[in-house]
Structure 1
């Protein structure tokens, strides 16, 4: 039951991420289209009769749209890199956790073969950091 809920949650999260990626791609394509149209209009006007005050809106639209497209691209690359770094850090943390669990399992296996009881944690009378079996100092 819990696995079904987890699977539905992961699927819903994947669908939301896919929608977000699609939305960002459409935004990027529309901004690139606006930049291309405005730059083409501006260059056509310049070629025909030079630039004048009537070309100011096209110049502003060109500069703003090109800057926005570059900003979105840089933001996407940086976001992807940050997710990559985060995933690598999570992978390393998971690996350390798995190795620690493996060492605990191997210790339990050795104890079981030797006929010793399993240990859930340090004994109650041993302070943390002291070697096992050593008597605590008198107070």
Structure 2
């Protein structure tokens, strides 16, 4: 990268360094669906074993998942979401909503229900006024603002 290029400091860019690759988010999706073993995650994502192993190591190093030994001979592990990983659920639901609306409008492949029993329509809202975030977002402030 040329010396005069200074990418904007941004938590979005930092987050994408951890989870911005297809197989990483699909592995997290599988953990949300209750699939915790490597073979099941590989089968349901379609990721090759070597790529999936690398992504799981990266997610573990970043504190998104943790391994839990379930067999000593041979050593085998299950993968579980940490609190940080569980918080990615909102991101996955937002991605699914966007995909349902813009890529699969005629037939969404999965419909999520909320614990209240109704179809889930995830919306990011301001914690103060309750309005949708996209309606009131302004230019950022802080070290990444230019």
Please confirm whether the aligned pair reaches a TM-score higher than 0.5, indicating the same fold.
no
Give the TM interval when normalised to the shorter protein.
under 0.3
Q: TM-score normalised to the size of structure 1?
A: 0.25
Q: TM-score normalised to the size of structure 2?
A: 0.24
Answer 1 or 2: which has greater helix percent: 1
Answer 1 or 2: which has greater strand percent: 2
- Name the structure, 1 or 2, with higher relative contact order (CA <8 Å, separation 6+): 2
Larger Rg: 1
